[in-house]
């Protein structure tokens, strides 16, 4: 059971964890031990509230497939248990970050001083470029 908030929890059956072989150098155990983890979470078929599902599916994250399946690969640690915990923590953080309320953007205008500095820099740059021309003798 993964607790996301006081009202929202994920059941263990909703998260599919499979063990795979980790990439990279591994010494003698590289072809024997499957210590990395693939975590699959089907967002549309989960028991999350609709608001959570909408926010997760709206993310532009490459780990979310077109079908709405979130795939997290954890291979940072050398043991299966630590990688499994890492994948579950990353899933929890992703969901909590997605439903966090966004700060509304307030449109602002540039100050008069910044506008004046910008125009002054442009004219100064133009004068420098004008001095690069041929010299009349």
Per-residue model confidence as pLDDT tens digits over 80-129: 999 999 999 999 999 999 888 889 999 999 999 999 999 999 999 999 99
Q: What is the pLDDT of residues 6-25, one digit of tens each?
A: 788 888 898 999 998 888 77
The third-level CATH classification (topology) of the domain covering 2-98 is Double Stranded RNA Binding Domain (3.30.160)
Closest CA to 40 of 9, 18, 56: 18
Per-residue model confidence (pLDDT) at position 89: 94
Q: Is the whole model's pTM more than 0.75, yes or no?
A: no
Q: What is the DSSP letter of 43?
A: S
- Whether pLDDT at 26 is above 80: no
Token pair belonging to 56: 């997760």
Distance in angstroms (rounded) separating the CA atoms of residues 37 and 82: 10
Bridge partners, residue 42, by sequence:
69
Tokens of 54: 């909408």
Of the candidates 28, 39, 40, the one whose C-alpha atom is nearest the C-alpha of residue 78 is 28
Would you state the pLDDT for residue 29?
A: 67
């Amino acid at each position: 059971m993964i607790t996301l908030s006081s009202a929202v929890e994920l059941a263990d059956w909703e998260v599919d964890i499979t063990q795979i072989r980790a990439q990279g150098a591994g010494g003698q155990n590289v072809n024997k031990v499957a210590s990395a983890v693939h975590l699959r979470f089907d967002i549309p078929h989960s028991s999350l509230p609709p608001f959570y599902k909408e926010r997760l599916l709206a993310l532009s994250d490459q780990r979310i497939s077109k079908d709405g399946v979130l795939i997290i690969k954890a291979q940072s640690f050398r043991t299966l248990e630590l990688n499994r915990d890492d994948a579950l923590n990353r899933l929890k953080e992703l969901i909590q970050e997605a439903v966090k309320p966004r700060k509304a953007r307030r449109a602002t205008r540039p100050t008069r001083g910044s506008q004046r500095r910008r125009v002054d820099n442009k004219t100064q740059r133009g004068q420098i470029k004008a001095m690069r021309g041929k010299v009349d003798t």
